[in-house]
Chain A
Amino acid sequence: MEWSVLQQYGPSLLKGFGNTILCWALGTVFGMALGLVIALIQRYAPRWVTWIVQAYIEVIRGTPFLVQLFVLYYGGPLVGLRLDALPAGLLGLTIYGSPYFAEIFRSGFRAVPDGQIEAARAIGMSESDIVRRILLPLGLVSALPALVNFSIILTKETVILSIITVPELLYQVQRMSAETFRYVEANLVLALFFWGLVETISRVGLRLEARITKHLIERT
């Protein structure tokens, strides 16, 4: 591999990496928020609403992310939803992640002992207080490992955004290799780079997780 190429393409690669991180971070945060809302709806809304939400979960989980992006980015304009590649990608990531996050939150909430909630109700806490002070703090802790795990999976999904021309890392690498004909090296380096990234994030995630849960074990 000609390393001088990297110098020439350095800025665009760096920008691509920035976009990858941006898409990942915002997609994770928004996806988690939407997932939390869905999980709460599943728990408290009337029957027929939960059916609609369940259908949403099944559809998003049963179709490929790439097809969802195509519907959004190429199909969206037909119904008046005109988005640039980057916002479309972010919206796509948010929608794609939300049902997985919702299921994680749901099982986290299920791990909260019924007795805790009954006790809160017995001492006269309002339903919103129960959610805020009992359900969320306890549920989030038991959901944490799965949340970290899925956030790591989302880093890998960001490369798919390159297909709808979001200028993230793979997109920049593809452009570079098309101009320099260095497909093998460029993609191999990208693979190694992602390996390092994912390994690092999962190490950090595990440590973070251990710290948060340790703190709680000590307190209880």
Chain B
Amino acid sequence: MFSLAVFFQSFGPLFWAARYTLLISVLGIGLGVVIGTLICAARLSPYPPLRRFAAIWVSFLRGVPLLVQLLVFYYALPVIGLDVPAMVAAVVTVGICASAYISEIWRGAIAALPKGQAEAAVAIGMTPVDVWTRVILPQAVTLSLPALINELILLVKASSLVSVVGILEITRASQAQAATTFRPLEVYIAAACIYLLINLCLAALGRYLEHRTAV
């Protein structure tokens, strides 16, 4: 029935492929933080066109399934003359998609800060730049760390979708493994175990950060 030999043998290649899952998720969240910060700044800026642009950005990326976004990018980039490797397209898509969620995380964290903090900073004569870099952002970043870890967990799971554009991460590797061993059940359960392992570690990290930054 359930072949334990196949189950344990598939861990080798799948762990090897897990590098790409982690690479895509980590680069994706990095890119997401950079773009998300810009989008959040645009969202909070006093200029209506910028605000509207950011609102549309967030609404579009949260309203379209990631799989469809991946396909659009994958097929559209060569058409507009950007012939990038699939890996780059995947990281960029995942990062752009994450940016929408991350900008909302920032916005929530900034909104959660008591208004008096910024007012007090202004009252003692801090410049707007100082107010942001010394009062608002350090606190907002601490507040949103658990949410960012949560987003990273979501990205690890979402990265399974890039298998459809041919990147050899855990899911794609397990498809290949299932095809050669004819034992899909064992192989896919092994893949699920690896994802679970990664995510349980990340969840533990999240709890630790939450505990450490709790006031």
Residues of A within 8 A of B (CB): 58-59, 61-68, 70-71, 74-76, 78-79, 156-160, 162-163, 170, 174, 183-184, 187-188, 190-191, 194-199
**Interface residues in B, total, Cβ within 8 A:** 44
Q: Are A63 and B67 in contact, CB atoms less than 8 angstroms apart?
A: no
20 pairs, CB–CB < 8 Å, chain A vs chain B: A58-B196, A63-B157, A64-B159, A67-B188, A68-B192, A71-B185, A71-B188, A74-B184, A78-B185, A157-B65, A160-B67, A160-B161, A162-B67, A163-B164, A170-B65, A170-B68, A187-B75, A191-B69, A194-B65, A195-B60
Closest to B71 in A: A187
Residues of B within 8 A of A (CB): 1-2, 59-60, 62-69, 71-72, 75-76, 79, 153, 156-161, 163-164, 170-171, 174-175, 178, 183-186, 188-189, 191-192, 195-196, 199-200, 203
| Minimal beta-carbon separation of B22 from chain A (angstroms) | 14
Q: Are A64 and B160 in contact, CB atoms less than 8 angstroms apart?
A: yes
Interface of chain B: mostly helix, strand, loop or mixed: helix
Distance in angstroms between the alpha carbons of A162 and B66 in the assembled complex: 13
Distance in angstroms between the alpha carbons of A63 and B200 in the assembled complex: 10
Q: Are A58 and B65 in contact, CB atoms less than 8 angstroms apart?
A: no
Interface of chain A: mostly helix, strand, loop or mixed: helix
Closest to B69 in A: A191
Q: Are A190 and B183 in contact, CB atoms less than 8 angstroms apart?
A: no
| Minimal beta-carbon separation of A133 from chain B (angstroms) | 36
8 closest Cβ pairs, A-B complex: A75-B185, A64-B160, A74-B184, A198-B63, A183-B75, A156-B65, A62-B199, A64-B157
Distance in angstroms between the alpha carbons of A64 and B194 in the assembled complex: 11
Q: Are A74 and B72 in contact, CB atoms less than 8 angstroms apart?
A: no
Chain A residues contacting B199 (CB-CB under 8 Å) are 61-63
Known: A78-B184, A187-B71, A187-B75. A195 touches B192 (CB 8 A): no
